[in-house]
Amino acid sequence: MNGLDPAKKLRILSVSPSQAQLWDRFRNGDREALGSLYRQYIDDLYHYGMHFCRDEERVKDCLQDLFRDMWAERDHISAEIHNVRYYLLSSLRRRLLRSLQKDRRHKNRIIAHSFDLEFTQPQESTIIKNESSQEKAIKVHKAIALLSRRQREVIYLRFFQELSYAEIAQLMSLQVDSVYNLISKAIGLLKKSMAMLLILL
């Protein structure tokens, strides 16, 4: 790149590597690639974990174990990972479930109380688009709080994490048709709840 002007050099250097390239570099023992994956996904993973169980120490422990084990077992991880976000979210979900199931205090609360969806991420503002006021955001949160645990999770994974219906089905051990039904019913309930909230407020 010696013959290029400085501005063009900067543009080329600023282009981030593709996910496939990062994944290959990570599997081949590149610690910088692991660091790039960590920085790119840690916020999404942390917020997903906190929505899932609301136990900060447990989430942090599972995240630390996830990246530590990924590095230790990189030689055995498939090169055919087409969606790194899905792989990391599903890996974290499994770890959290195992951790909760081992803890007798949480054993009977996993299904009833997990996945408390809140608007805490910057990208979550996209679901309310033009509704930027705090009051309207609170209305949306109240409406989402009326959904079942599974409905909240599928809404989060589909619209906040942008996973496909097939990926959500695999992650949550559901049929694809069930994911479609959950999302359809959740959206219907949200519309109805928002209408009622607008009347009440």
Phi, psi of 34 (to 5 degrees): -60, -40
C-alpha closest to that of 58 among 192, 66, 34, 128: 66
Residue 164: partners with Cβ closer than 8 Å, 6 or more residues away: none
CA distances for 174 relative to 87, 118, 153, 165, 166, angstroms: 17, 24, 12, 10, 9
**CA–CA distances in Å: residue 36 to residues 18, 58, 61, 158:** 11, 23, 20, 24
Q: Per-residue pLDDT tens for 92-142?
A: 999 999 998 887 655 555 444 456 655 444 444 445 545 455 666 677 777
Encoding tokens for residue 52? 């899932």
35: left (phi over 0), alpha (psi -120 to 50) or beta: alpha
Please tell me whether residue 156 adopts helix, strand or coil conformation: helix
Q: In the structure, what pLDDT confidence band is assigned to residue 171 with cuts at 50, 70 and 90?
A: very high
For residue 46, what pLDDT is reported?
Answer: 96
d(CA 118, CA 156): 10
- Please check whether residue 179 is in contact with residue 165, taking contact to mean a CB–CB distance below 8 angstroms: yes
> Which of 90, 195, 97, 108 lies closest to 146 in space, CA to CA?
195
What CATH class has 121-201?
A: mainly alpha
C-alpha span between 27 and 22 (Å, rounded): 9
What stretch(es) of the chain map to CATH 1.10.10.10? 121-201
Average pLDDT, the chain: 79
pTM: 0.73
Distant-in-sequence, close-in-space partners of 114: CB < 8 Å, separation ≥ 6: 52, 53, 54, 100, 149
Tokens standing for residue 127: 């679901």
Cα–Cα distance measured from residue 68 to residue 102, given in angstroms and rounded to the nearest whole number: 21
Locate CATH 1.10.1740.10 in the chain: 17-114
Instruction: Supply the pLDDT for residue 80.
Output: 81
Q: Within a 10 A sphere around the Cβ of 95, how many other Cβ atoms?
A: 19
Architecture of domain 17-114: Orthogonal Bundle (1.10)
